[in-house]
Amino acid sequence: MVSLYEHACEIKKTTGWSQEQISAETGLHISTVSRIFRVPGYLGNETSNRLIKQLHREVVKSPFPAYIEHLFELYDDWKENFSKKEFSRCLNVLEQLLLNHKALGTHELIACRVSWLLGHTYYDRAFYLKEPNVKKMADSASVWYQTALEVLNRHEGKGLTVQKYKIQQCLVSTKFNCCDQNHRANSDEIRYWLLDMGYLQLVEAVVTEDTWNWVAARNGLVAASILQNLEKCRWFWQAMQKVNKNFGNLDFVPSQWLPSLRQDSDLVWFVKQVMTE
């Protein structure tokens, strides 16, 4: 799910508008817009989310067709507002719809987005709905995410770096959720896998392009810590602090869904290095 902050930053990136202009376009008070940009993890209320999403839809053009983007939005709405039983029923219907999409099995760009959404259906069956045979569901999610990535890789040179990172992040999230949280920071398998996919370099490219993207920078920090690459750890940590100086405090909690750096089990190596300097 794309955050309120990410939507707002993408609007600013696309249009070059100031916070005052975004306030005028949405009708939101300037203090609300300022808080969205200033406070990491700010959730906002129903009105601010609706108005920012609406403006984002109008001005930020997706490389994918509008109808598939609408399905992604519906997916998020179902997950947020429906019971797990209702959400599961929606996934069953959506899966059949996507599996019958004529683009599947082709190299068309839309096939990437269809496969991507199919990956989400299996990911959420495994880790949100916690259906039986979690490993099978997670493996299916990985297969569809990998399919999406392979299609996207056939469209190099079309400015799709951020999309490539987001698919790789889906793969990373799936892999991490399949590993014991207390052991993956020391897993040689995870290290080799991250190196093989070139994840660190891709995240660095995204953060260099979108300097506001502190979540990507934190993901990069996690990977750099697992890879025990202190130079890259410092680079990503500094990138986070450029967005918000509070990230310099290891005990700062950026949102309700992310722990502080000190409390993140994936960042044990990084925190140890900082504490011994």
pLDDT given at position 235 = 98
CA distance 118 to 134: 16
Cβ burial, residue 245 (10 Å; 0-12/13-18/19+): exposed
Identify the band that residue 182 occupies on the pLDDT scale cut at 50, 70 and 90.
Answer: confident
Please check the confidence at residue 254 and state whether its pLDDT lies above 80: yes
255 has which bridge partners?
Answer: 258
Mean pLDDT across the chain: 94
Q: Which amino acid is at 139?
A: D
pLDDT given at position 7 = 93
Nearest to 82 by CA among 133, 134, 124: 124
> Which whole number is the average pLDDT over 263-270?
95
Highest mean pLDDT among 43-57, 117-131, 145-159: 117-131
> Residue written as tokens 């680079």?
235
Minimum mean pLDDT range among 55-59, 118-122, 155-159: 155-159
Identify the band that residue 116 occupies on the pLDDT scale cut at 50, 70 and 90.
Answer: very high
Minimum mean pLDDT range among 86-95, 145-154, 255-264: 255-264
Q: Which residues contact 275 (CB under 8 A, 6 or more apart)?
A: none
How many other C-beta atoms lie within 10 A of the C-beta of residue 5?
25
Q: Under a CB-based contact definition with an 8 Å cutoff, are residues 118 and 95 in contact?
A: yes
What are the tens digits of pLDDT across the range 38-68? Answer: 988 888 899 999 999 999 999 998 999 999 9
pLDDT given at position 257 = 85
Q: Which two tokens stand for residue 58?
A: 């109008």
Half-sphere CA count of 245, side-chain side, radius 13 A: 0
CA distance 136 to 132: 9
Please check the confidence at residue 157 and state whether its pLDDT lies above 80: no
CA distance 100 to 114: 10
Q: Which residues contact 109 (CB under 8 A, 6 or more apart)?
A: 63, 64, 151, 152, 155
pLDDT given at position 144 = 98
Q: What angle do CA 207, 227, 265 make, to 5 degrees?
A: 90
- The long-range contacts involving 255-263, CB below 8 angstroms and separated by at least 24 positions, are 255/40, 255/41, 255/43, 256/41, 256/43, 257/41, 258/41, 258/218, 261/221
Instruction: Give backbone dihedrals phi and psi of 193, rounded to 5 degrees, phi first.
Output: -65, -45
In the chain, where the domains are located:
1-61, 63-178, 182-277
Identify the band that residue 270 occupies on the pLDDT scale cut at 50, 70 and 90.
Answer: very high
Identify the band that residue 2 occupies on the pLDDT scale cut at 50, 70 and 90.
Answer: confident
Q: Under a CB-based contact definition with an 8 Å cutoff, are residues 223 and 204 in contact?
A: no
Length of the chain: 277
What are the tens digits of pLDDT across the range 77-109? Answer: 999 999 999 999 999 999 999 999 999 999 999
Q: Under a CB-based contact definition with an 8 Å cutoff, are residues 206 and 162 in contact?
A: yes
Please check the confidence at residue 183 and state whether its pLDDT lies above 90: no
Architecture of the domain defined by 1-61: Orthogonal Bundle (1.10)
Tell me the longest C-alpha to C-alpha distance in the chain: 57
